[in-house]
Amino acid sequence: MMKYNFFTVASILVLFFVCFACKNEPSKPASTTTAAAATGYICPMNCEKGKVYDAPGNCPVCRMELEPVQAAVAANTAVYFTAFSSVPATLEAGKPGVMSFTPKVVGNESVPVPLDLVHEKKMHLILVSDDLSWFDHIHPEYQASGTYDIKLAPKGELTDATRGHSSTSFVTGGKYLAFTDYKPVGGLNQVNKTEINVVGAPAKAVQYTTAKMTTSVDGYSITLDPHGATLTAGKQGHLHIDIMENGKRLTPDKIENYLGAKAHVIMIETMSKDFLHVHPEVAGDELEMNTTFAQPGLYKTWLQFQTNGKVHTADFLIKVQ
């Protein structure tokens, strides 16, 4: 029979408890490792076109939390664009068809560009008429061919079930602008603009001259309130978002998450077509928006929020001095 002395038994017990502790030690969050290896911090929406910050915080434009950026990503100088094609090649208002959008790298167009998920989708597509009187926020579906496709429904066949997902319909002819918003794997967020010409009778162009800070949609009255402040280009602007229903303010806890946020705000300057995508913040029981406008002008603005499973789109006109 094998004999054990005191030191042998003690060594076995120590080894057992050390192994047990190692096995049950909670793993460190991935974000800790990522942050430690980061060379800086950058806006996930790339609002400032590759600007890298030294410390964590919030983007001054869209207010999203800055993310750690790796050296390889920060050094990625690839220039991306979105190739566009359609079937039929000439699109006609009210007629069926398919629009295809394909992210590519300038000078290396044959290499596929895989995309990360950003706000629950790989690609966000903002479609507007050239005069900004018509708006749609939809999400192309990835195809085996490598394209991201949107179906065009015939006039009168677009339903609430397909609206806002991967289908749309051009009601009138004229020029439209497609803003493709995506993030290549290992790269920074991109926004590419594509002009689309649609055959058919155009709508009468809308001219914008004065600000519109209150609007109504689906039984809600919404106001963007700067609390007396003047919005000025180059300086951070602050707006309270007051959503009223039956005379009572809708608090953020009554607003459902839509694409990973309480609300999405798209702003396009009427002349330059400068594009901003902002996410309001919850401050106590209020919904607030902070952003920095790069240039003065009139910004057509769309606020999207969701209640009872339905997305509501309210439009405004913001004047920036």
The per-residue pLDDT for range 157-189, each reduced to its tens digit, is 776 555 556 789 998 999 999 999 999 998 888
Give the number of other Cβ atoms within 10 Å of residue 153's Cβ: 18
Give the CATH superfamily of 80-199. Macroglobulin (MG2) domain (2.60.40.1930)
Closest CA to 212 of 311, 321, 299, 313: 299
**pLDDT 10s digits, 92-131:** 999 999 999 999 999 999 999 999 999 999 999 999 999 9
The pair of three-digit structure tokens given for residue 296, joined into one six-digit string: 């003065």
Give the pLDDT band (50/70/90) at residue 8. very low
pTM metric for this prediction: 0.79
Half-sphere exposure of 226 (CA within 13 A, CB side): 15
Q: Lowest mean pLDDT: which of 20-29, 45-54, 74-83?
A: 20-29
Give ranges for CATH 2.60.40.10 in the chain: 214-320
C-beta separation of 103 from 190 below 8 A: yes
CATH code: domain 214-320 is 2.60.40.10
Chain-centroid distance of CA 49 in Å reads 15
